């Protein structure tokens, strides 16, 4: 862990103030993402904990996935400075520390993905308005500078500062925690009032809501992979087939698997009656060994009437060697749900096997058994479609 700071007061050293800390990616991560994650805070100005402590529920799991993290705690001398100049001072501190980091840290090869929370989001927007970023994530930000003057008069008021008008030509989003949404209701903020970045992408994505920071790390990783393009390959993708009501779980998803040579098969595959589909089937890429499956039938839930809620048509299928569990109530027929559950189990086990493989060489001559898994191919195509859609929106906005 590295620490860096600087202080000033009329040219003389006042004390150590704004600090930049660096935590490298975990050595156990399957690969290191060259784009760093930047978390900023201003404890003495806006209150709260330092960035490394406040955002710990987010950066710790992401570090294990291969992200390096920068923590910038801003603390310029704001005594006697009018509110209209405070954001400028904060921006100057960010620029100075990020352009001249300590030698041990070095300048990152790509602009960072910036995350801020609360009143500090105004600082993040100030910086983003004139400096490159790979992504911008605002957690519980002021809805506008007019709202910021009302909510934080001692920091950004009492008169509202000019609204930000910059167009983010990089992925940007707003995230709300349950506590912030409850506070909005208490203040009777109209439901239709939203942040300008949130309004810009309102037709493209649903509102991002987290019960708390502790429960936001997985969703943040999905956003970094799907929308920002910072793929680490450690997250089990959600099922792409949205036409069925199947849920998929894996008990051993906390640790990323160690990389093994392509074609390596786990012990349970050799011990059981498993084999890759010889016809290249995408529905059932792997033939299952029924002796390794534990199956039970439970009552369904949700809409569908008595055929769902009063009959045990919901199928729960567990693959005992890996702990993978599939629950399926896609149809009112138990037989059809059993078939669909096995199809999803086959696809999931193929993904579990191949996601641990290292790079596959050979280009177009890669054997069928070494090709990317069905789930991974579907996931990559969906991610590519989202990226292309976002690029078209940016080109349309700039034209």
Q: What percent of the chain has pLDDT over 90?
A: 31
pLDDT tens digit string along 283-326? 899 999 999 999 988 755 544 444 444 456 788 899 999 888 88
Mean pLDDT of 66-90: 88
* Between 172 and 232, residue with greater pLDDT: 172
Please enumerate in sequence order all residues whose Cβ is within 8 A of that of 23, keeping only pairs 6 or more positions apart, or say none: 1, 52, 59, 63, 68, 69, 71
Q: Across the chain, what does the average pLDDT equal?
A: 80
Per CATH, the number for 2-228 is: 3.40.50.1820
Could you state, in order of their start, the residue ranges of all structural domains in the chain? 2-228, 246-360
Domain 246-360 coded CATH 3.40.50.300? no
Mean pLDDT of 223-252: 58
| C-alpha torsion 14→24→92→6, nearest 10 | 10
pLDDT at 207: 67
390 neighbors 292 (Cβ within 8 angstroms): no
DSSP state of 296: E
pLDDT at 335: 86
pLDDT tens digit string along 133-158? 999 999 999 999 998 988 888 888 78
Lowest mean pLDDT among 66-75, 165-174, 264-273, 370-379: 370-379
pLDDT at 67: 93
Please determine, for residue 340, whether its predicted confidence score (pLDDT) is greater than 80: yes
pLDDT tens digit string along 25-36? 988 877 788 899
* Between 169 and 322, residue with greater pLDDT: 322
- Helix residue ranges, H only, the chain: 43-46, 51-54, 56-64, 83-99, 121-128, 145-151, 153-156, 178-186, 196-200, 217-223, 267-271, 306-309, 334-354, 374-398
Confidence of residue 184 (pLDDT cuts 50, 70, 90): confident
């Amino acid at each position: 862990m590295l620490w860096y700071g600087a202080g000033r007061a009329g040219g003389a050293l006042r004390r150590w103030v704004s600090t930049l800390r660096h935590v490298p990616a975990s050595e156990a991560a399957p690969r290191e993402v060259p784009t760093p994650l930047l978390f900023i805070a201003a404890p003495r100005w806006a209150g709260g904990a330092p960035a490394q402590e406040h955002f710990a529920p987010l950066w710790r799991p992401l570090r294990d996935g291969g992200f390096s993290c920068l923590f910038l705690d801003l603390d310029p001398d704001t005594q006697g400075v009018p509110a209209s100049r405070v954001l400028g001072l904060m921006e100057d501190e960010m620029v100075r520390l990020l352009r001249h980091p300590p030698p041990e840290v070095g300048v990152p090869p790509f602009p960072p993905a910036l995350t801020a929370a609360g009143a500090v989001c105004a600082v993040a927007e100030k910086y983003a308005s004139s400096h490159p970023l790979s992504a911008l994530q605002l957690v519980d930000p002021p809805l506008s500078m007019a709202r910021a003057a009302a909510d934080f008069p001692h920091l950004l008021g009492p008169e509202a500062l000019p609204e930000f008008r910059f167009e983010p030509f990089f992925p940007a989003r707003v995230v709300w925690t349950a506590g912030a949404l409850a506070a909005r209701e208490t203040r009777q903020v109209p439901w239709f009032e939203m942040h300008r970045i949130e309004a810009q992408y309102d037709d493209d994505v649903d509102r991002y809501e987290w019960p708390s920071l502790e429960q936001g790390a997985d969703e943040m990783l999905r956003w970094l992979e799907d929308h920002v393009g910072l793929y680490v390959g450690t997250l089990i993708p959600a099922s792409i087939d949205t036409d069925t009501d199947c849920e998929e779980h894996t008990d051993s998803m906390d640790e990323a698997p160690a990389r093994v040579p392509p074609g390596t098969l786990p012990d349970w595959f050799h011990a059981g009656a498993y084999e890759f589909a010889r016809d290249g089937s995408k529905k059932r890429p792997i033939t299952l060994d029924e002796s390794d499956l534990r199956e039970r039938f439970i009552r369904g839930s949700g809409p569908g009437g008595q055929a769902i809620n009063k009959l045990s048509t919901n199928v729960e299928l567990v693959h005992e060697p890996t702990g993978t569990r599939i629950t399926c109530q896609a149809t009112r027929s138990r037989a059809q749900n059993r078939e669909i559950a096995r199809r999803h189990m086959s696809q999931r086990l193929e993904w579990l096997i191949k996601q641990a493989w290292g790079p596959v060489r050979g280009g177009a001559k890669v054997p069928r058994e070494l090709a990317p898994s069905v789930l991974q191919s579907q996931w990559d195509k969906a991610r590519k479609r989202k990226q292309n859609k976002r690029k078209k929106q940016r080109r349309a906005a700039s034209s």
